[in-house]
Structures are given as C-alpha cells and as structure tokens.
A = this chain, B = another copy of it.
C-alpha cells in the first residue's frame, strides 16, 4: 500500500516507471515466474493500481518487450564508416551487452515459454530480426539484395541468436571470443555462398576489398589458409 510520502506521478510517467520495473524483473527471471504482486512491490504501488495502468501481466510484458525491442534495434545502428568487419564487431559487442543485461528474460522469450509465444511477442521478435537484416544490407550498400544474400544475412541473424542463447547457458566461452567468432561466421557464410554463385562472389569481393590487413576478417582468412593446406589430402 502507498503511504502518501512518495510524490504523485503523472499517468504516463507512472506507466513508464512500471514498464521499467517490469522489464528489470522480466529480464532477471523467466517472465512466467514474475507476478503482478512483485511488480507492484518493486514499483512501490498497490496491485490494484498496477491494473489501473495495465489490464494484466501479458500487456505489461508486451510493453516491457516493446521497450527492449526498441533498445536492441537501436544498438544495431552503426555509422557506415570504416571497414565492415570492425563495424560488425562493434554491433556484436552491443548485442552481447543487451543479451547480458536481459539474460534470463532473453532466453525465456527466444525459447518460447507460455508467456512468450503470443502473436504480439512473435511479431516483435520478427521486427527486431528485420531491423538487423536491414542494417546489414545498408552496410553492404545493397538495395535490392539477391535471394542468396538475403538468405545468408537472415541465416546469420539466427546464428547470432542461437550463439547468444548457448552463451547464456553456462557462459563457458568468453563472450568477446563469440563476438569475434560471429563476425567471422558472417564472412564464412558469405564465402560459402560466393563459392558457387557469381553475384555473391562479386559482393564478397567488394566486402573484402575494404578490409584492412589488421582487421578481423583478413586475419581470419590468413588463419584459415594456414589451417587448410596440410588438412587437404593431395590428389591421388
């Protein structure tokens, strides 16, 4: 119960406060385990007052998810300057920052718990994926992407999700290593696609042309070249 000492908030201010409190709780534990009572207690208001602002837990969850989705989409934005590998690496760092901050809630959402699998939440997940996809297209300076490039980018976005989820499950690999690995994975998936398709080969060649010798992608190519020769059996 409120005691009257606290100053009164306006409607929108209170809504925003509740969303923030809820996002913290939904991030720290599986949303199914968070009750309206807890949210009310953390916000310092009564349970009925929470219902005054939000009809139920699901609508508060969706509002919290909306804020998180906007935050994540914002972190994908990166000035189109400098080599692509370095830009992607900075984005991966901010992505893992986000995943780190919202760990249990991110896992619960992406693994599709009961609270998570609604049409609204699925639409928000797809929207963030689409934002990531469009950012990468913009960085590659490709307007109408060939279908194979679209496939590679969307596949890589799902790879980044899957890698982050596995990292959260025990954190047994340093996240900095995974951030770099995902940049490399992107280059590798592009290269695989380019090996059999001329249009993709031209895109990859342009991508690599801007990479500095000290950059993460050129460094990988050097390491792969050293890895490959002894492993490939000589022609018989």
Binding site for B on A (CB under 8 A): 111-114, 116-119, 122, 147-148, 150-151, 154-155, 158-159, 161-163, 166, 172-173, 177, 180-181, 184-185, 188-189, 191-196, 201, 204-205, 208-209, 211-213, 218, 220-225, 227-228, 230-233, 235-236
Q: Which of B161, B185, B209, B236 contacts A192 (CB 8 A)?
A: B185
Do A185 and B189 touch across chains, with their CB atoms under 8 A apart?
yes
A-B contact pairs, 10 of them (CB 8 A): A113-B122, A155-B162, A158-B158, A158-B161, A185-B189, A191-B227, A196-B223, A211-B232, A221-B228, A225-B225
Q: Known interface pairs A195-B227, A227-B204, A231-B209. Does A155 touch B166 (Cβ–Cβ under 8 Å)? A: yes
The 6 lowest CB-CB distance pairs between A and B, nearest first, are A117-B117, A158-B162, A208-B231, A195-B223, A188-B188, A184-B192
Q: Which of B177, B212, B232 contacts A221 (CB 8 A)?
A: B232
Do A118 and B114 touch across chains, with their CB atoms under 8 A apart?
yes
Give Cα A212–Cα B114 distance, bound, in whole angstroms: 48
| Count of this chain's copies in the oligomeric assembly | 2
Do B209 and A233 touch across chains, with their CB atoms under 8 A apart?
yes
Main secondary structure of the interface of A (DSSP, over half): helix
* In the complex, chain B residues whose CB is within 8 Å of the CB of A208: 228, 231-233
* In the complex, chain B residues whose CB is within 8 Å of the CB of A225: 225, 228
* In the complex, chain B residues whose CB is within 8 Å of the CB of A161: 158
Do B236 and A213 touch across chains, with their CB atoms under 8 A apart?
yes
Give Cα A235–Cα B214 distance, bound, in whole angstroms: 9
Give Cα A186–Cα B14 distance, bound, in whole angstroms: 50
Output the least CB separation between A107 and chain B (Å).
12
Do B213 and A196 touch across chains, with their CB atoms under 8 A apart?
no
Do A227 and B213 touch across chains, with their CB atoms under 8 A apart?
no
Do B147 and A155 touch across chains, with their CB atoms under 8 A apart?
no
Do B220 and A205 touch across chains, with their CB atoms under 8 A apart?
no
Output the least CB separation between A57 and chain B (Å).
16
Do B213 and A231 touch across chains, with their CB atoms under 8 A apart?
no
Do A195 and B177 touch across chains, with their CB atoms under 8 A apart?
no
* In the complex, chain B residues whose CB is within 8 Å of the CB of A221: 228, 232
A160 (CB) vs chain B CBs: closest residue: B155
Q: Which of B189, B231, B232, B233 contacts A188 (CB 8 A)?
A: B189
